[in-house]
């Protein structure tokens, strides 16, 4: 099963140090780029991300990154 492409580019988020974010891997969440439980009953599971420092994080929107949950430019090849 392939994930749904939510966006052909990254979601830029000001990620707070020590806060855990749960990235949507299925592409169906209404709270992109974060999980809202839409993956229930599928093979997909969210990916936890906790930054060491507060900074901009580029969360993958196409759901095809090899560096989950962050964008690696895979959307340029879709």
Q: For residue 48, how many other CB atoms are within 10 A of its CB?
A: 11
Q: What's the whole-model pTM score?
A: 0.95
Q: Tell me the pLDDT tens digit for each residue of 31-59.
A: 999 999 999 999 999 999 999 999 999 99
CB burial string 12-45: b at 16+ within 10 A, e below: ebebeeeeebbbbbbbbbeebbbbeebbeeeebe
Q: Are 28 and 43 in contact (CB under 8 A)?
A: no
pLDDT digits (tens, 9 = 90+) for 5-38: 999 999 999 999 999 999 999 999 999 999 999 9
């Amino acid at each position: 099963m392939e994930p749904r492409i939510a966006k052909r580019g990254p979601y830029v988020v000001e990620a707070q140090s020590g806060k855990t974010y749960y990235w949507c891997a299925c592409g169906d969440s209404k709270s992109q780029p974060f999980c809202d439980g839409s993956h229930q009953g599928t093979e997909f599971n969210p990916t936890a991300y906790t930054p060491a420092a507060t900074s901009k994080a580029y969360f993958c929107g196409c759901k095809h990154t090899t560096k989950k949950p962050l964008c690696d430019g895979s959307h340029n090849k879709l």
